Amino acid sequence: MTRTELFPPIEPYDHGKLPVDGIHIMYWEQAGNPDGVPVLFLHGGPGAGASPDHRRFFDPAHYRIVIFDQRGAGRSTPLGELKDNSTPLLIKDIEKLRQQLGIKQWLVFGGSWGSTLALAYGEAHPECCLGFILRGIFLCRPKEIDWFLYGLQTFFPEVWYEFASRLPAEDRRDILTAYYRLLTHPDPDVHFPAAKAWSRYEGSCSTLLPNPEVMNHFTDNTVALGLAKIEAHYFKHNIFLPENSLLDNIHTLHHLPGVIVQGRYDAVCPITSAYDLHLAWPQAEYIVVDGAGHSAWEPGIRAELVKATEKFKQII
């Protein structure tokens, strides 16, 4: 019988801090089987950081589970730092960590922004990848950013109004610029309330039904500050990649196994992006979870992600 439940909580057997340049220091950890198949977990946001429960998608007897917090996120320092923080630099960080840990190839697992970074990394270094498990696909195209900032009011008008009403009416025509100005203000009394509002907005729209546990995660002070500042920074710069580059270069992954898991009613990253990826990468298995929104903790999505990690035990 195929397993669909998370594995029991575990602690890392190894962890550390890796300086990646003169500013940023990356937190990383390893859990599970030191001699197992390496799997890299990429958290969302960008800027949200990883949590202990993320280790639980993987069979600790089979996998060598590698998790890190991306620049400016979670336990990496400095928290919320935007200088020298870009997608190409995150890709370099992943490679630096892979080499530091002596890993030749690994399975890459990422959801939401983690799916974006997984694709960007895989297209840059396909020779280092065993395959991909991707959830809640975000390709960071202009229409997807516009949907996040404005389109969500179609389904969450009250939540959107609370988010937008922090801005003067004239600034609501360009929410991203207005929030970016607040989030990068040096005064914590200015940037911190803006960060909490941004993160609360995203968290409120991430599940099909209200979920207090998900909201507690998004309103955590560290998560909110890292998520809001870095997310706005990446959106403002179109994730520092050429437009549509992820789909344009997906052919470089056609020879690798992949699983795409998408909630039918994902409001944060609508299913159209996952379907576009499916059309461009038909070799990957495409799984739509009816009755689910965006979050990895939606029961149906959580079950499919565990099933995918179990399936890969037979593939790689």
Cα–Cα distance, 172 to 177 (Å, whole number)? 9
CA distances from 34 to 19, 101, 133, 306 (A): 23, 11, 21, 20
The verdict on whether 62 is a catalytic residue reads: no
Specify the DSSP element, H or E, that contains 19.
strand 14-19
Peptide bond into 46 cis (omega under 30): yes
The verdict on whether 112 is a catalytic residue reads: yes
Nearest to 236 by CA among 276, 284, 182: 182
Catalytic residue among 24, 43, 69, 112: 112
Cα–Cα distance, 229 to 29 (Å, whole number)? 24
Residue with tokens 């409001």: 267
Catalytic residue among 24, 76, 266, 273: 266
Q: Could you tell me if 137 and 277 are in contact, meaning their C-beta atoms sit under 8 angstroms apart?
A: yes
Render 174-224 in DSSP notation, one character per residue. GHHHHHHHHHT-S-HHHHHHHHHHHHHHHHHTSSSS--HHHHHHHTSHHHH
Identity of the residue numbered 278:
H
- CA 135 to mean position of chain CA atoms: 9
The verdict on whether 53 is a catalytic residue reads: no
Catalytic residue among 24, 54, 278, 294: 294
Q: Could you tell me if 302 and 6 are in contact, meaning their C-beta atoms sit under 8 angstroms apart?
A: yes
Cα–Cα distance, 297 to 211 (Å, whole number)? 9
- Cite the active site residues: 112, 266, 294
